[in-house]
Amino acid sequence: MILSTLPGYLKARPKSHKLGNITTRQHSGFVLAAFPRDYPITAPQRKVRDAAKECGIHTGISRNELVTKMIDCIGPKLRK
């Protein structure tokens, strides 16, 4: 099928619903929608991400370990 090779997905349109005493009708069928793109990373975000990677901060570390690394490692790196 041609649709399976396109970058995106099929999204069903919403059904008609009541808004007060008015029935809203939408167009029936499907819409070919694209997946959302990643936002570009700003320079400050890049600086913090690189510093966190150098200091060994990752998901799943304990809170005490995170606080220690933020004070001892991230602080001095970002003050440069």
Between CA 71 and CA 74 the distance in angstroms is 6
The angle subtended at Cα 57 by Cα 50 and Cα 75, nearest 5°, is: 65
Residue 23 located in a structural domain: yes
pLDDT in tens, 34-77: 777 888 999 999 999 999 999 999 999 999 999 999 999 999 99
Residue 38 located in a structural domain: no
CA-based nearest residue to 70, from 43, 49, 44, 52: 52
Identify whether residues 47 and 70 lie together within a single domain.
yes
Residue 61 located in a structural domain: yes
Tokens 């997946």, residue located: 35
Residue 6 located in a structural domain: yes
Q: How far is CA 69 from the centre of its chain?
A: 25
Task: Identify the domain containing residue 21 by its residue range.
Answer: 2-33
Phi and psi torsions of 21, nearest 5°: -105, 15
The answer to whether the predicted template modeling score (pTM) of the entire model surpasses 0.85 is no
Residue 69 located in a structural domain: yes
Identify whether residues 25 and 53 lie together within a single domain.
no
